[in-house]
Amino acid sequence: MTLPPDAPGPSVPHLLLGVCDYPEQVLQDRWAPYARQQRELGLSFVRIAEFAWSRMEPRPGEYDWAWLDEAVETYAAQGLRVVLCTPTATPPAWLVRAHPEILPVDDQGRVREFGSRRHYDFASPVYREHSRRITRAIAERYGGHPAVAGWQTDNEFGCHATSRSYGGASAAAFPGWLEKRYGSLEALNAAWGNAFWSMEYAAWDQIAPPVLTVTEANPAHALDYARFCSAMIAEFQAEQVAILRECSPGRFVTHNFMIFESGFDHYEVSRGLDFATWDNYPLGMLEFFAPPGYEAQKLEYARTGHPDLVAFNHDLYRGLLAGVPGRLGRGGPGTPAGPWVMEQQCGQVNWAPYNPLPADGAVALWTAQAWAHGNDVVSYFRWRAATAAQEILHSGLLRHDETPDRGHAEVAALDLEGFPAGEVPARVALLHDYESLWIYDLQPHSAGLNYWAQTLAYYSALRALGADVDVLHADADLSGYAVVVAPAITLMTPERAARWTAAVEAGARLVCGPRTAFRTVSGGTPEGGQFGPLAGLLGARLLQFDSLRPGLETRVAGPGGEHEAFAWAESYRPEAGTAVTHRYVGGPLDGQAAALCRPGGQGEGVVIGAHSPALIAEVLRGVLGRAGVDTTDLPPGLRLSRRAGRTLLQNWTAGPLTWNGIQVPPVSFQVRPD
């Protein structure tokens, strides 16, 4: 078959829309009307089949493709481009009962049973074989179909705490992975510091996953287990990607990542993809995934979500494959290069502690923000609300009775030509690293702080100053950025330190947060203490750190006045040539350095030792000004995002806001020329 003449052309000048649909969950007489309605709504893409393994292969080796053949043809007849998924997030009952060894084990030693989803161990050789088999089967059948624009692998790696299995195949494979990494038990024992508490190993098979210990496991052991489990996901992903490339040339391959998912290294797992996609649920994100510090804002932003939580994930996934050559251009005519939002909330969700209806205008606002942060496609979840099983309380563009829901009207009213394709002109890079996340959160030392909370404090301060931000890996190419912000990169290597130093010497202004370079690659501390290989660049050493419970006040004084610190404060011994810009006032750190600035080459290195949003904002405002990056003080809930020569002005609050003489109504946006 061929696509209709009104199918998308050879280039995509503006944002396109899609939807997630489930033909296997409704009667077949609904397929054609749904596809027609989707096209009439202005949608271009439909994602299908991520949970349909039991329909594709109802019994071992017995495939039923007739229903999927018909579904794909039905969408194609309306000019919709299809994103097909490998169905491996939901192995069918017959496979689980025949091979119960594929099931994962949680951190309490319990086997996670069949009857939901994501019930497999990434390291299982049995499951890997079946994953490759079903991937090849679906790719060979549909890989050359002209309506198939691309592929999504699996679904939401890590969802429901499934990135790590602590028994079965993973437990069996871990010692061999360690032996390959370290070469000898002597090297492993030294790297892990196993002389502490008599934890030394005399044989590889003595090593188990780091769970069910009497007190906390050795953090070096836990860090390496996180690396191992991430490597298993990367291998699993790479096997599917290789088959899809072989059997479906010219189509894109992506994966839909999760909100603030921490269980694996997304940079490692995304290698080989054409672009990243992620699943955006702003209300559930605020209720369920928000890090410490957002409790007071859950009511204020209950019906819109918090703008900076959403924006951070957009910027993270836009930058996931930054600098990777040869990754764009697959998918055929009319297919954007990405990134995408693969699942966009369009009504209430069902999985957070509270699941309010979005405010009027929120769905359109989320769509506009996604465009402004670099997404080429926004795909709504889902077409029709499910009438059975676990997600029956989750909304769709259609209600259960097939009438258009509130989100449907907002999608219909969008002017897509007002969202042109183009670049996000960020001059600020914010650095992120999953290994730093793991080792930070293994020993947070403060109940009021974790890696995401510290990182978001700096990101939110930049956004409140009107800055556009690229979120990049801590080892990314930093050339071209005026300001580089490293909020919580606690794991430091000599190579990373050299790269940052070169960026500062070339003119970048580097801002580091607390605990920067506090850990080595093995999870220990540098023999010379913090800042290890960054000590020369930052011109200081750690003096004290202080974990602050709520109500235990510590203040910081500087040119902008006094600011209160929360959860964490650390002080430094500055070297000659390093300026102390802020000092602690009162308490055990009284008079000690709280923030520093050291010139280097054509740039500078700045350190902030206290977790204090007001202090962070003051320091960043000064750094951005010295770097020539324009700033503007935005009222709470108002945000600016720039793309393709236009500025998106957004109001995320329930009341009108005014900025620079422009009034923005509640829960709305305006696209304005730069």
Show which residues are catalytic: 156, 343
Q: In angstroms, how far is CA 561 from the centroid of its own chain?
A: 35
Decide the pairing of beta strands 256-257 and 277-280.
Answer: parallel
β-sheet bridge partners, residue 672 = 647
β-sheet bridge partners, residue 279 = 343
- Between CA 486 and CA 605 the distance in angstroms is 11
Structural contact between residues 166 and 123, judged by C-beta atoms closer than 8 angstroms: no
Q: In terms of C-beta distances under 8 Å and separation of at least 24 residues, what long-range contacts does 359-363 make, across chains too?
A: 359/303, 359/304, 359/654, 359/666, 359/667, 360/406, 360/667, 361/410, 361/666, 361/667, 361/668, 362/282, 362/303, 362/304, 362/305, 362/667, 363/406, 363/407, 363/410, 363/411
Angle at 260 between CA 383 and CA 345, to 5 degrees: 20
- Between CA 555 and CA 496 the distance in angstroms is 32
- Between CA 202 and CA 186 the distance in angstroms is 9
β-sheet bridge partners, residue 547 = 568
3-state SS, residue 347: coil
- Between CA 65 and CA 56 the distance in angstroms is 6
- Count Cα atoms within 13 angstroms, Cβ side, for 194: 15
Q: Which of 8, 509, 435 is nearest to 230 (CA)?
A: 435
Residue type, 139: A
Crossing angle for the helix pair 66-77 and 31-40, nearest 10 degrees?
Answer: 30
Greatest Cα pair distance, the chain, in angstroms, is 78
3-state SS, residue 469: strand
Q: Environment class of residue 288 by beta-carbon count within 10 Å: exposed (0-12), middle (13-18) or buried (19+)?
A: middle
Q: Residue 429: CB partners within 8 Å, gap ≥ 6?
A: 469, 470, 471, 472, 476, 478, 481, 483, 484, 485
157 DSSP 8-state letter = T
Structural contact between residues 159 and 233, judged by C-beta atoms closer than 8 angstroms: no
Q: Which of 115, 438, 124, 116 is nearest to 261 (CA)?
A: 438
Structural contact between residues 604 and 504, judged by C-beta atoms closer than 8 angstroms: yes
